[in-house]
A = this chain, B = another copy of it.
Amino acid sequence: MADGDARGARRSARGGGRAARRQARGASVSSVAAPSYLKRQIPLVEYLTEEGLNKIEAQADRMLAEIGLEFREDPEVLEIWRTAGAEVEGERVRFPKGMLRELIKTAPSEFTQYARNRERSVQIGGNNTVFAPVYGPPFVIDLDKGRRYGTIEDFQNFVKLAYQSPHLHHSGGTVCEPVDIAVNKRHFDMVYAHLKYSDKPFMGSVTAPERAEDSVAMARLAFGEEFVDQNCVMIQLINANSPLVFDATMLGALKVYARANQACIVSPFILAGAMSPVTVAGTLSQVYCEGLAAAALTQLIRPGAPVVFGAFVSSISMQSGAPTFGSPEGSLLLSGAAQIARRLGLPFRSGGSFTASKVPDAQAAQESAHTILATVQSGVNFCLHSAGWLEGGLCSSYEKLVMDADQLGMMHVLAKGIDLSDEALAWDAFNEVGPGGHFLGAEHTQRNFETAFYRSTIADNNSFEQWESDGKLDAASRANKQWKEMLANYQPPELDVAIDDALQDFITRRKSEFPDSNV
């Protein structure tokens, strides 16, 4: 059972009464009282008709049968495909029509990823959207210290900020690369930081099969072996080497996690024009093939293992070859890929605070706004890079993290749609105020103003004069104040001492078993 249930989860979690107390306290320690994920109550925005989807599927079927995909340097995977009935020729694998769709029938359309604090567990699929922070940048930037390589301190800071934000549901994975730690050892510190400084759900390492194994081992220490085997407690990003290739690293990680019943996000990583055709429709047919093939592979490895159909798709500048983000084509691609995932019956991952800007300026905000809105409207279930992205994903920004998170807060309001209760219709307010009156003092307003409108923590809505006397700060400068305040006020969630000790022992032992390496 990939889905588990909250009661069972509680029962099997380590610590018994202590765990319960931890949970209770965990909730109060955090300053947030927020939903643990977004529930979309507004209609989906879909740009493809049924007929359009059929065309894309027909081309994908032809591509899978005639061109196929390559699975590189992984004889085991080739053997799995051969046994399953695919046509294997060298590393090229071709699929008879319908074979892959048949295979993914065992994958859950929706599943729970459990958090250490069960109140923060998230539901991935259906009408739900889970916001996770930026993933992968080697650089970090803030207004004080500028741009530099990320360190484990930065990593911990981003984990803390995501933990504190009421609008981020997930701790994410590589919130930045901690380049001050050897490549072959940093996964220990990353997974530990997610467990120590946050109690939200998180992601494991995928950069080598043994690092994936270490991540699973640490999850077992934190959640209990049996619980991990039966439930999803980690979700991982498995990128395609688009076009139409999966490499040994990603396949290795996919196998580890699928076998451990942990979730794989199988994601085409496409900059259209370079790694796919220069068209939306062509690119979508490629997304279909790459996502479906990898999703099917997870089910061959462990039927029922949770898998998310992903799409990281944008375009490039056809003048310079540089990646572009927040483009209209990007929104169409995102929405189209979501429709494909729904047709296949799989949860969908995409979206985020995408931008090519180097600083948290108007370009950054505009590009991110278009992608974030498309994320919610298209029904993305797991949104990686929801906050903190800059520079085409090369840089995690402290300021942008809190700016984006504020915008995610707005999305929670939008996603609720329009309340049509009698109280919302407010007849008594009209009756009280009448033509030419003022609603500020109305009884209805007094009853409702506390929860009436979303309160941005970044926007300055004051007069020019007030804003001037407040120091003429732009949004990024206000964000700079905000994240520093958040870090200054950070209170860690409780972590069971026995678990903490076990994790640290494991890390010390494992780190001593091999020398540092930067590969």
Range of interface residues on A (Cβ < 8 Å): 35 or more
A-B contact pairs, 17 of them (CB 8 A): A42-B47, A43-B47, A51-B420, A52-B420, A67-B431, A273-B453, A277-B448, A279-B419, A279-B423, A279-B424, A279-B448, A281-B420, A317-B461, A323-B461, A362-B476, A366-B475, A391-B464
Max chain B CB contacts within 10 Å: which of A284, A320, A331, A407? A407
Do A370 and B369 touch (CB < 8 A)? Answer: yes
A114 to chain B, nearest CB (A): 30
Q: Report copies per complex.
A: 2
Name the residue on B nearest A376 (C-beta). B328
Cβ contact of A438, chosen from B274, B426, B472, cutoff 8 A: B274
Instruction: List B contacts of A394 (CB < 8 A).
Output: 464
Do A461 and B356 touch (CB < 8 A)? Answer: yes
Name the residue on B nearest A91 (C-beta). B435
Q: Does A413 contact B (CB under 8 A)?
A: yes
Q: Once bound together, how far apart are the Cα atoms of A48 and B320, in whole Å?
A: 43
Name the residue on B nearest A367 (C-beta). B459
Do A427 and B278 touch (CB < 8 A)? Answer: no
Name the residue on B nearest A283 (C-beta). B426
Instruction: List B contacts of A435 (CB < 8 A).
Output: 67-70, 92, 243-245
Q: Does A405 contact B (CB under 8 A)?
A: no
Q: Does A157 contact B (CB under 8 A)?
A: no
Name the residue on B nearest A390 (C-beta). B464
A208 to chain B, nearest CB (A): 21
Instruction: List B contacts of A359 (CB < 8 A).
Output: 472, 474
A286-B430, A366-B366 given; 6 more Cβ-contact pairs under 8 Å: A67-B435, A244-B436, A279-B424, A284-B418, A317-B453, A363-B458
Do B280 and A419 touch (CB < 8 A)? Answer: yes
Q: Does A364 contact B (CB under 8 A)?
A: yes
1/0 contact string of A282-313 vs chain B (CB within 8 Å): 10111000000000000000000000000000
Q: Once bound together, how far apart are the Cα atoms of A361 and B361, in whole Å?
A: 6
Q: Once bound together, how far apart are the Cα atoms of A245 and B468, in whole Å?
A: 35
Do A274 and B439 touch (CB < 8 A)? Answer: yes
Name the residue on B nearest A92 (C-beta). B435
A4 to chain B, nearest CB (A): 33
Q: Once bound together, how far apart are the Cα atoms of A322 and B461, in whole Å?
A: 6
Instruction: List B contacts of A282 (CB < 8 A).
Output: 424-427, 429-430, 444
Q: Does A45 contact B (CB under 8 A)?
A: yes
Q: Does A417 contact B (CB under 8 A)?
A: yes
Instruction: List B contacts of A207 (CB < 8 A).
Output: none
Instruction: List B contacts of A369 (CB < 8 A).
Output: 365-366, 369-370, 373
1/0 contact string of A438-449 vs chain B (CB within 8 Å): 111010110011
Cβ contact of A464, chosen from B48, B243, B284, B358, cutoff 8 A: B358
A311 to chain B, nearest CB (A): 14
Which A residues between 457 and 503 are near B, CB-CB below 8 angstroms?
A: 458-464, 467-468, 472, 474-476
Instruction: List B contacts of A420 (CB < 8 A).
Output: 48, 51-52, 55-56, 281
Q: Does A414 contact B (CB under 8 A)?
A: yes
Q: Does A515 contact B (CB under 8 A)?
A: no
Do B47 and A417 touch (CB < 8 A)? Answer: yes
Q: Does A23 contact B (CB under 8 A)?
A: no
A372 to chain B, nearest CB (A): 9
Q: Does A85 contact B (CB under 8 A)?
A: no
Q: Which 3 A-B pairs have the closest CB atoms?
A: A282-B426, A369-B369, A362-B365
Do A452 and B362 touch (CB < 8 A)? Answer: no
Instruction: List B contacts of A407 (CB < 8 A).
Output: 366
Q: Once bound together, how far apart are the Cα atoms of A318 and B315, in whole Å?
A: 41
Q: Does A433 contact B (CB under 8 A)?
A: yes
Instruction: List B contacts of A147 (CB < 8 A).
Output: 464
Q: Does A201 contact B (CB under 8 A)?
A: no
Given A245-B435, A320-B461, A424-B279, A403-B362 contact (CB < 8 Å): yes
